[in-house]
Amino acid sequence: MAHGKKGFVYLIGAGPGDPGLMTIKGRDCLEKADVVLYDYLANDQLLRMAPPGAELIYSGKIGGEHNREQHQINQLMVAKALEGNVVARLKGGDPFVFGRGGEECEALVAAGVPFEVVPGITAGIGATSYAGIPLTHRGVTTSVAFVTGHESPGKLSSEIDWEGLSLGSGTIVFYMGIRNLPQIAENLMAHGRSPQTPVALIRWGTRPEQQVLTGTLSDIAEKAQAVGFKAPAVTVVGEVVQLRDTLRWFDNRPLFGRSVLVTRGADQAGEFAVRLERLGARVLSCPTIEIVPPTDYRELDEAITALDSFHWVVFTSYNAVKYFFDRLHALGRDTRALGGCQVCAVGPKTAAALAPYGIKADLVPADYKAEGVVTAFGELDLSGKWVLFPRGDRAREVIPEELTRMGAQVLTPVAYCNVTPPELPQEALAALEAHRVDCVTFTSSSTVQNLAAILGENRFLRLLEGVTVGSIGPITSKTCRELGLEVHVEPAQYTLDALTEELVKYMNR
């Protein structure tokens, strides 16, 4: 272990919920961990930053009750460190702001375990920012107080300076105060704060599930009870709450709160997921395709060796480009081998995939599918021309059949294979079973067929009943309908940008 036989503990502030708010230092420390001790406010996505094989121990709440008491967490953390482990204590928000990080450090000091505290963005700052509420604002207030709203009911008297809070003109942020909301409002009003003072409750701040409820000291408790507003939440009291109407930016995005199932392969889903998340969607990654190299490279190798005899090379996907050039380089050749060939790309995304290799497509059809390629070549003389079409193992026969009919000699070596995963990610399957998916997107016929194959057709139709179906184009839509799905969204241009735009329009009607 890097820190000696006693091990080492990092107390890491995981931020208020959005995994993007985790600090770089926090991420770096988490990546060193042998053991991760995490609570229920730490986003599950952060656990993926831990090394493979790291021991993950949940220490948060189950059914609203603490899974472990604080002294038990302290003992476990010390024990794991004394075994020689690097321990990451992952805590929601900031360890030293109502996070009991000080108590944990005291336990480490008493045991002689070295440690480091990595600050995080506390909920009082992160959640209010995502709700469009600045804690201080010129001409409104120049001070802010962070206060616990969760005092023990057994206390004979409150440790909170209610009079000081009430008479001050600053913003007050209460942590963990939903259960005591009526008492908080009553105490502030009883000590001089105006009943008309604006109040905001922010639940699951910075997450796609974020909820904000606004009111005044006089009615916020009643409003919260009426809608069943629950923890975890922070309560913001002060005139700055009124700025939310003007500065709201997060929870008014066009896809905010919508759960979108993305069925693209794991290696390609990232760009699409980021695009949807920027529009406020909660993206559920559900890869139904795994792209793998072919089991036999002989046909592709023979074609690459004979590249100087081809007049055209046709690429119809990013994967075709990637796997073709990977094999070209594996054979000790480079882009110069295509010097005598003209290149066709099925659409702008495929053309963009060629750019890093120094290739500019000579032909990009106006219609981004196989039929569009055929139409584009129909304007050319292909008699006696040799065409190389590196493709996936499940590609349709439209291009080779039609180009052959036009007089071309077409070779179609398999450059990559589509494999169906044995099962779906647990998070995605649970969301489908609980009917928490608003939209599912399909970007190829294979994504539809594979999802149906993994689930079974009857279950597939049952779980997608009432779910908005977005399809990249007519071929994929045809497959959807053949399997019994209604297609709600299909863009005129068969691109992810166009699909995203049409999803926004449809879901905001």
Q: Which residues are catalytically annotated? A: 39, 61, 176
DSSP 8-state code for residue 172: E
Q: Which amino acid is at 361?
A: A
Q: Which amino acid is at 43?
A: N
Helix count (H) and strand count (E) of the chain? 19, 23
Ramachandran assignment for 238, one of left (phi > 0), alpha (psi -120 to 50 degrees), beta (any other) = left
Element (H, E) at 330: helix 318-330
Contact 136, 144 (CB under 8 A): yes
Element (H, E) at 371: helix 370-378
Q: CB under 8 Å, gap of 24 or more: what pairs does 395-402 form?
A: 395/316, 396/370, 396/475, 398/370, 398/371, 398/374, 399/314, 399/316, 399/370, 399/373, 399/374, 402/374, 402/377
Tokens 């109502």, residue?
98
Closest Cα partner for 12 from 42, 52, 53, 51? 42
CA distance 414 to 131: 51
CA distance 194 to 197: 5
Taking the CA atoms of 253, 257, 258 and 263 in sequence, report the sign of the dihedral they define: positive
Closest Cα partner for 260 from 16, 17, 499, 40? 499
Collapsing DSSP to helix, strand or coil, 281 comes out as coil
Report the b/e string of 49-69 with b at 16+ CB within 10 A.
bbeeebeebebbeeeeeeebe
Closest Cα partner for 81 from 53, 58, 110, 103? 110
